[in-house]
Structure 1
Amino acid sequence: MILVLDVGNTNITLGAYEGKKLINYWRMNTDRGISSDEFGMFVLDLLRYENIKVSDIEAVVIASVVPPIMYSLEHAFKKYFKLKPIVVGPGIKTGINIKYDNPKEVGSDRIVNAVAACTIYGGPVIIVDFGTATTFCAISSKNEYLGGVICPGIKIAAEALFQKTAKLPRIEIAKPDTVIGKNTVASMQSGMVYGYVGKVDYIVRRMKKEMNENNVKVVATGGMARLIASESETIDEINGLITLEGLRIIYEMNKQN
């Protein structure tokens, strides 16, 4: 059994795999100040609830975009599981040829998503990840990471409206019945939801044109994926656990036989 961790700016998603089967997964807030003991005990409690023993865990694989938390996470697994985690980064086999000007600038989560998308769906593929930031990644039919787009996430945009204006309220992100809002909250919700639908569809169409390939599949993931996909004309698939699956695949690529 292996543990996989997707460490994002807002949440940490932790999954337990038995072979190719995802046994369960959990989410916690990303607390940059968490200690290794706090995190270690948290993970132990989760596994204990599922009747999973520490001795059952043979490896830990982590993709992180939050460097300040990594010492605590790595130390927790070394102390409580006697395991040195595999951290996705330089030197880790992925099977993806990164065409970025500086490959080191590409977030590990985006590479992990690319690995999963190529394995599950095959290239060419565009991955739209609705996380703290909304990212678009283009992968060719030759498993080349061509590049992508980075935008503020929906929640960041909504919070910015609240923080930077005198009269606009903090709102729940929800789809209103009509684009034309009849009150301030509905108008803001329309801007967030339908505005992002328009943004996604426009960017995806431009990316497809620049990729110049046939049958480009578009896969959405992240917390807001279902909300936006319900109105989008370009999203083909929703896979909320694509990052965890990518981490499992990367482990299979890199494990010592």
Structure 2
Amino acid sequence: MLLAIDAGNTNVVFALFEAGKILARWRIATDPRRTGDEYAVWLLQLLEIRGIDRTRVDRIIISTVVPRALHNLDVLSRSYFGIEPLIAGQGNAAYAIDIDVDEPRSLGADRAVNAVAAHEKFTGDLIIVDFGTATTFDAVDFNGAYKGGIIAPGINLSLDALVGNTAMLPRIAIELPQSKSVIGRNTEDQMLIGVFWGYVAMIEGLITRMKAQIGRPAKVVATGGLAVLFDKVGDLFDAVEPDLTLEGLAVLAERAAS
């Protein structure tokens, strides 16, 4: 059984794979100060609740964009599972794709893993939209090469900045506006329209510009927590793959084992 760990800026996601399928997944807020022992107390209890013996875990792979978190996840793997973890992008878990940008080493592990997973699942040129702490747009060509992308503020970051820098605007939830009107009749509606439909306009505009620059038909694959919400708008995406990063880690782990 494979334990895949994806440490992002907001959450660390743990997923158990069996026979190539996700058996269980859990998430915890990212905190670089959290020790391997603290991860173990939390994770081992969750395994017990699901009736899963920790000894069934025989492989671990870690991807992180938070360097300080890696040591403690390594301690968790070695001390509580007796396993030397694979690290995405390193050694036997190398991405094995061409990262065709000015500074290949600066590419975040999550984006590289997404490129691996998307190329494994789809043919042709791809645009991957990942809704995380930041919203990223990545171009992957028909050969699986990573060609570059865009980094935009995540929608929750944008909302936090709006509310945090104004005296009278309330906190609102990100959701699909109930009214079809884009002229709000109260403060909350006006904020939701601005944030939600403004974000949709950004997504549409950037995808259109990327497709024009690619110059060939490109499938748009969305992932991340808010992908399902924005998929309700219409035909923004050709596919929504909520577990794309985790599936990419599973691909790397399988390649390392072969």
Q: Select which of 197, 201, 210 maps to 2:213.
A: 210
CA distance in 2, matches of 1:202, 1:161: 22
Helix, strand or coil: the match of 2:205? helix
Equivalence for 2:239: 237
Deviation string 1:180-225 (CA, Å, 9 cap, x unpaired) is 11111111111111111110011011111111122x1101111111
- Give the secondary-structure state (helix, strand or coil) at the position aligned to 2:14: strand
Paired residue secondary structure (1:45): helix
How many aligned positions are there? 255
Determine which of 222, 225, 249 is the counterpart of 1:223: 225
Q: Map of 1:141-160 to 2, 5 A cutoff? A: 141-160=142-161
User: Is structure 2 residue 48 aligned with structure 1 residue 48?
Assistant: yes
Q: C-alpha distance in 1, partners of 2:231/2:130?
A: 11
Structure 2 unmatched ranges of 5 or more: none
Q: Please list, as runs of the form range in 1=range in 2, the aligned pairs for 1:1-257 lying within 5 A after superposition.
A: 1-91=1-91, 92-176=93-177, 177=179, 178-214=181-217, 216-255=218-257, 257=258
Q: Give deviations 1:100-153, integer Å, cap 9, x for gaps.
A: 111111000001111111111123111100100000010001111000000000
Amino acid of the structure 1 residue aligned with 2:114: N
> Could you tell me which amino acid in structure 1 is paired with residue 75 of structure 2?
H
1:22 Cα deviation (Å)? 1.2
Report runs of 4+ in structure 1 exceeding 4 Å deviation: none
Cα drift, residue 89 of structure 1? 2.6
| Contact 2:89–2:95 (8 Å) recurs in 1 | no
Cα deviation, residue 48, structure 1: 1.5
> Retained in 2: the 8 A contact 1:201–1:232?
no
The amino acid that maps onto 1:218 is V
Asked if the contact 2:6–2:13 (Cα under 8 Å) also holds between the matched residues in 1, the reply is yes
CA shift at 1:87, angstroms? 1.2
Letter in 2 for 1:248: A
Q: Unaligned stretches of 5+ in structure 1?
A: none
Give, in angstroms, the shift of residue 95 of structure 1.
3.1
How many percent identity over aligned positions? Answer: 40
**TM-score calculated relative to the size of structure 1:** 0.95
The amino acid across from 2:113 in the alignment is V
Counterpart CA distance in 2 for 1:232 and 1:78 is 46
Secondary structure of the corresponding residue to residue 15 of structure 2: strand
Distance of 1:32 and 1:115 partners within structure 2 = 26
